[in-house]
Structure 1
């Protein structure tokens, strides 16, 4: 085998990073900068405009089970192309809207696109191409969306100021379409399609020997009724419900006497922590196992919550450190959940199981996020939410430990 074929898994990784950066980093991580200009232009509230993002998340979660069943049956490039084209159509449509209901309609369409070709597809492709270092590569791929988002937000914000928000949406549509050449020239579902081998294959173990016992195909009803499945969903529900503070950091900061600018810095610190967390979870999972990797990150997040509980007594630098250490917990919802599902159920069952993780996470997050605001409205303090989060993380850790009992890390 030529060196070019031998190292093709890393070409796959680079292509997946480009795709994730465009579809997730630009396509879903830059929605916030449009809220104010669109609301001002249409004469509605920012919360009204933000509702299309909620609709997008719900549509993606509901469509995910159908998308999961298509993986393996349909050429993965067709799924990714459908995702890119639907996203492009949605953003072009958003550039033409004149009423709020149109935003929600295109948000729902965008959710279908996200479900067709984002997290699930990328995880399955990486696991097919990497026997060794799969966790690290998944972390790198998902981190690329965070990196792109850091640069894309200010660039698009400048476009909005100079050319208007409608033109900025058109730019996003073009970015979605730029993924098509990469999809069709570089992406393949299996190494055999490029006369190549998965990374790590042939180094003392074969693809078959590297497969866990859980990777054997199992009937869908058997999967969803299993104790492992229910414990895993319990972990996802609890952790997604309680890890919702990042967007509240500005309010948390101003409540204890910090400036709004300090609150914005805390949000940025948490986002930087999320980027780090994606890399760390993937890297640790290859070295100490998925369960220990996730529990390590959650433990660090617990320390951050303890610090935030006493934020009123902290100097600004320590508050920023706590926000940064909080960030990696949010990475559990992307890299962590993907690796847990793969570990428990295998790559072949992954497309059947992960959609229900997505639904559970979306519903729990949608309830937990406003709950933090309601608790503050009732009590005048965010401290009860930090205590609830600490208890929730302990419970989620217990569910994860029980779910993975008997699994070798």
Structure 2
């Protein structure tokens, strides 16, 4: 009886799912569960506690290019392991905080270690392991954050209610070590380390001949990319897209609760979390099946439509439509940056380039959350904020399509030159 052995890269994807499921919600989705109990107990304002999120994002903005380069060029498993351990220790240290300064110090270290513990190393390793179905593989791994948040949220709420927020920090710090750390040892850096080839590597030459040159990948260094205007336009497009994603998500629950109450908002959020997992996996499939231009156009249009629905919050049925579209569209902040970067610039210098792209992702996150809140405070409504978000999505789409076209053109030029050199030599 012949049994086909499972390609080891899919085990790496599974490990990525578990790491994302355990770590990402504790930094993003479930972080808000600590706001009320911590501020009530400690006696400082929610805005003061909110600065912790800004610090975490700010540190990530600074460190992403360096960690991306180190993870790609040095001992990936060692760096990843140290970052997971450091993240767990930083998370646990919140339980010992006695004043707001202690929270800020813990947030600083949490931001530093989270940069090398969560999505960045996962996307770098998976890019090494997959040529074919790379978008699907990355999106499946990143989708772990959706179901992880859905599982962790009620458990965390129950622990906070019955044992206090300090105990909750300690419990989930231990869970990081118990669940995420072993998965790091599944994440082998390159298929060559196991005597294997990347998934679909044998078909690269054939694909290059049958499809567009963009499928080959540019494989250009970061320093050279910086000399091309389209790269900076690409970074601007990613910044705009992530500004909208992180900023709108931070206010979604409050926006719904203002109009229809907390219970309705909770129901919409649950429906939204279910859709997010479907959205991430489907977006990866779209990028693999078609190309970056079609995939980016699709997701930006869907995302813009979801924000447009928010302009009419009084309609409950429309809010369910919004939640479905938003669950698909919000994947722009997690799936688009790693998948598009790999597709456009190739795997050779991916770690270094994506670390730089990741800086723009978290810069958008750190600026958008207070910006959307300020617009609400000044106007008493989210209408202007949602209109700004729609405008930024349109700008992002234009920027990403333009940079994609220019990147394809540069790739074609390089292939022509290389073919000419080869023919001359032969």
2:345 is matched with 345
Deviation at 1:4, TM superposition (A): 7.7
Aligned residue for 2:72, secondary structure, equals: coil
CA distance in 2, matches of 1:88, 1:143: 21
Inter-CA distance 162–193: structure 2 relative to 1 (3 Å threshold): same
2:249 is matched with 246
2:358 is matched with 358
Aligned residues of 2:214 and 2:343 also touching (Cα < 8 A): no
Deviation at 1:363, TM superposition (A): 2.6
CA distance in 2, matches of 1:92, 1:303: 40
CA displacement, residues 183-234 of structure 1 (integer Å, 9 cap, x when unaligned) = 23x221111212233222345758999995544342x332123122111012
Aligned residues of 1:69 and 1:351 also touching (Cα < 8 A): yes
CA distance in 2, matches of 1:11, 1:375: 45
Question: 290, 293, 305: which one pairs with 2:292?
Answer: 290
Aligned residues of 1:304 and 1:323 also touching (Cα < 8 A): yes
Query: Within the alignment, does 1:367 sit opposite 2:367 as a pair?
Result: yes
Within a 5 Å distance, the mapping from 1:37-186 to structure 2 comes to 37-178=37-178, 179-184=180-185, 186=186
2:418 is matched with none
CA distance in 1, matches of 2:23, 2:256: 32
Aligned residue for 1:71, secondary structure, equals: helix
Deviation at 1:77, TM superposition (A): 0.8
CA displacement, residues 39-95 of structure 1 (integer Å, 9 cap, x when unaligned) = 222122233223222211111121111112212332211111011110111122112
Query: Within the alignment, does 1:320 sit opposite 2:320 as a pair?
Result: yes
Aligned residues of 2:208 and 2:216 also touching (Cα < 8 A): no
Aligned residues of 1:281 and 1:294 also touching (Cα < 8 A): no
Deviation at 1:116, TM superposition (A): 1.7
Inter-CA distance 174–208: structure 2 relative to 1 (3 Å threshold): farther
CA displacement, residues 242-289 of structure 1 (integer Å, 9 cap, x when unaligned) = 34223323443355x422322333334443343332112111001011
CA distance in 2, matches of 1:147, 1:26: 13
Aligned residues of 1:123 and 1:338 also touching (Cα < 8 A): yes
Aligned residue for 1:310, secondary structure, equals: coil
2:282 is matched with 280
Deviation at 1:170, TM superposition (A): 1.2
CA distance in 1, matches of 2:167, 2:254: 32
Question: 227, 230, 254: which one pairs with 1:228?
Answer: 230
| Backbone CA RMSD of aligned residues | 2.6
CA distance in 2, matches of 1:10, 1:251: 38
Unaligned runs of 5+ in 1: none
CA distance in 2, matches of 1:42, 1:49: 10
Aligned residues of 2:57 and 2:365 also touching (Cα < 8 A): no
Aligned residues of 2:58 and 2:366 also touching (Cα < 8 A): no
Deviation at 1:368, TM superposition (A): 2.7
CA distance in 1, matches of 2:366, 2:169: 25
CA displacement, residues 289-345 of structure 1 (integer Å, 9 cap, x when unaligned) = 122112102111222223222233x2x122122133123222111110111111222
Inter-CA distance 252–15: structure 2 relative to 1 (3 Å threshold): closer
Question: 255, 258, 261: which one pairs with 1:259?
Answer: 261
Aligned residue for 2:334, secondary structure, equals: helix
Aligned residues of 2:243 and 2:364 also touching (Cα < 8 A): yes
Aligned residues of 1:138 and 1:282 also touching (Cα < 8 A): yes
CA distance in 2, matches of 1:49, 1:18: 28
Deviation at 1:3, TM superposition (A): 6.5
CA distance in 2, matches of 1:310, 1:180: 45
